[in-house]
Amino acid sequence: MSMTADELAKRQAIIDACRRMNALGINQGTSGNISVRHADGLLVTPTSVPYEAMMPDQIVFMAMDGAHAPHQKPSSEWRFHRDILKSRADVDAVVHAHPTYCTILAVMGMDIPPVHYMIAAAGGDSIRCAPYATFGTAELSEHAVRALEGRLACLLDHHGMIAIGRTLDKAMWLAVEVETLARQYHGCLQIGKPPLLPSDEIENVRQRMAGYGLSER
């Protein structure tokens, strides 16, 4: 397969991020998947390939209509990767994983409320939990796109989480931050009903972060 240096670098960055998900403990086995906008489509991880064995030419280039080389098998979650990149001009990377604390809250169908000011990094005063639908379906993709409206992260009921960003580094940073928030919220719930920050304070923090450079992550 011949490809430009830019495309090869993007493919390698996707593999490096997959391996980082495992090192960070936010992924379980091969259940995570990653995509990055490329040319008129996207580069997306292949289905069921262990990250240690993943090679750049196994990353699938997919056109926005879902077409790809017939010998390649994209992630079973290619629909929401494609639909998010199609509907969100502000975003160039999508990270999906099943981090433990995000998934605990998602099993309970819970949104993450503003328990900590860092929730503003995900774009607003909550991280919504999208309703359940079977993995890989158009229905799950529709739920995910809706839950991400005005946001950069969401949970998926009985499934996991999605973090998105202008770059893969930003989406990865946010994925780790959302798992931290989920863990903090879970911990608070062990003690009682956590007091929440008001929405106008989260908006205030969001604007400060823009000045501070956190929104640039």
Active site positions, annotated: 77
Q: Please work out the total of residues on this chain that contact ligand 13P, with binding judged by CB under 6 A.
A: 10
Binder of ligand 13P out of 27, 51, 77, 122 (CB under 6 A):
77
Distance set, CA 182 to CA 6, 17, 154, 179, 200 (Å): 35, 21, 11, 5, 21
Q: Which residue type occupies 91?
A: V
CA angle 33, 17, 45 (to 5 degrees): 30
- Judged by CB under 6 A, the chain residues 33 through 62 that form the site for ligand 13P are 33, 45, 47-48
CA angle 149, 153, 156 (to 5 degrees): 95
- Rounded Cα distance between 89 and 211, Å, is 22
Binder of ligand 13P out of 31, 72, 167, 204 (CB under 6 A):
31
- Judged by CB under 6 A, the chain residues 122 through 181 that form the site for ligand 13P are 135
103 lines the binding site for ligand 13P (CB under 6 A): no
Q: Measured from the CB of residue 44, what is the shortest distance to ligand 13P in angstroms?
A: 8
Q: Which residue type occupies 82?
A: R
Binder of ligand 13P out of 35, 75, 103, 141 (CB under 6 A):
75
Q: Where do contacts with ligand 13P occur on this chain (CB under 6 A)?
A: 30-31, 33, 45, 47-48, 75-77, 135
